[in-house]
């Protein structure tokens, strides 16, 4: 054991270093990071956005942050594979908890996410979001663009999410989990010419100028070739990376709102992420994990591992 106390998320005073909790016990923050609202000066703040009122099919992603934290307990205190390091040896990371949302007023959620994310980005170096349905990426992009300027979007997904943005009943813009990319393009949050979608296995009315690596192409390409195409497309620009768990085949991620067969394995997409260690990522999220449609935490384990790989990329970049 790396430490001598349980409940590392509350009992340890340091923001760096491995935890000592047994896998089966202890406070379930993400990877046992300290639970705190004090994020000033941290390198990474991890938070959850338990919102799923913008799904078009099966709900349940509001339970995603809880499931991802629970699944992250499987990462013990050895150096994390395949990064050969304690990710938190020098990288100061905390678990901020969840975004405060009013479930009675779902139409206020995006504004609340945008406001709280903007506040966090003033205090921490990087925000890793655990969703939640994919609509939450829109207010997250708004907050990140306010800080970093227009971004390139790297989207792992089975869906393009470029369906038309409709007007809401109150006359405002209605953005759901299938239209947030279209909304982001129209709001000039992302540059389509340097954005790319990986694993797409459905068709939307338009591509908005974003490059698509369809599922059949991903099947034929190596993980290194996929990563190289991402580097070529983004051209060194700052990237927001969003990983919809339904990018994976339903065999590897059954617990999601809109599963699509014929996708890549978790092993292949994790290998792609490992090749992206030099990508200038300024923000990221893992979304659409819906535990009620899973047994054995298969999807949550895949999603938590994606999030761990994103932290691994940051740890490698932090160490350079």
d(CA 176, CA 80) in angstroms, rounded, equals: 35
Concatenating the DSSP letter of every residue in 128-169 gives EEEES-GGGHHHHHHHHHHHH-SBEEEEE-SS---PPPEEPT
Identify whether the C-beta of residue 299 lies closer than 8 Å to the C-beta of residue 254.
yes
Q: What is the dihedral of CA 245, 78, 70, 59, to 10 degrees?
A: 0
DSSP sequence for 75-113: S-SSPBTTTTB-TTSS--EEEEEE----TT-GGGHHHHH
- Evaluate the omega torsion of the peptide bond into residue 82 and state whether it is cis, within 30 degrees of 0: yes
Which pair of tokens denotes residue 96? 């901020």
Q: Residue 124: beta bridge partners?
A: 42
Long-range CB contacts for residues 118-124, cutoff 8 Å, separation at least 24: 118/143, 118/146, 118/147, 120/39, 120/45, 120/47, 120/96, 121/147, 121/283, 122/147, 123/39, 123/40, 123/41, 123/42, 123/45, 124/39, 124/40, 124/41, 124/42, 124/43, 124/44, 124/45
* Known binding positions for Mn(2+): 134, 157, 159, 161, 244, 246
Q: Residues within the annotated binding site?
A: 134, 157, 159, 161, 244, 246
């Amino acid at each position: 054991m790396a430490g001598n106390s349980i409940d590392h998320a509350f009992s340890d005073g340091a923001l760096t270093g491995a935890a000592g909790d047994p896998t089966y016990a202890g406070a379930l923050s993400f990877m046992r990071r300290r639970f705190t609202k004090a994020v000033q000066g941290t390198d990474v703040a991890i938070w959850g956005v338990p919102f799923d009122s913008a799904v078009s099919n099966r709900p349940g992603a509001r339970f995603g942050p809880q499931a991802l934290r629970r699944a992250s307990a499987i990462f013990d205190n050895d150096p994390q594979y395949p990064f050969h390091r304690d990710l938190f040896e020098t990288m100061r990371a905390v678990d901020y908890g969840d975004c405060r949302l009013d479930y009675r007023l779902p139409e206020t959620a995006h504004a609340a996410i945008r406001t709280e994310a903007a506040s966090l980005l003033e205090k921490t170096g990087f925000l890793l979001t655990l969703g939640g349905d994919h609509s939450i990426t829109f207010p997250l992009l708004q907050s990140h663009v306010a800080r970093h300027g227009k971004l390139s979007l790297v989207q792992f997904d089975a869906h393009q999410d470029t369906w038309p943005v409709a007007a809401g009943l109150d006359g405002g813009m209605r953005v759901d989990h299938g239209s947030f990319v279209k909304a982001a393009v129209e709001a000039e949050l992302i540059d389509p010419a340097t954005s790319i979608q990986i694993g797409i296995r459905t068709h939307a009315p338009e591509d908005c100028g974003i490059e698509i690596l369809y599922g059949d192409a991903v099947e034929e390409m190596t993980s290194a070739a996929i990563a190289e195409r991402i580097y070529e497309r983004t051209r060194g620009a700052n990237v927001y990376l969003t990983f919809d768990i339904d990018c994976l085949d339903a065999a590897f991620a059954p617990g999601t709102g809109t599963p699509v067969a014929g996708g890549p394995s978790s092993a292949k997409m994790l290998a792609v992420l490992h090749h992206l260690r030099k990508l200038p990522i300024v923000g990221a999220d893992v979304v659409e994990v819906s535990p009620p449609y899973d047994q054995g935490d298969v999807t949550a384990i895949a999603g938590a591992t994606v999030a761990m790989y994103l932290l691994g990329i940051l740890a490698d970049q932090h160490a350079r």
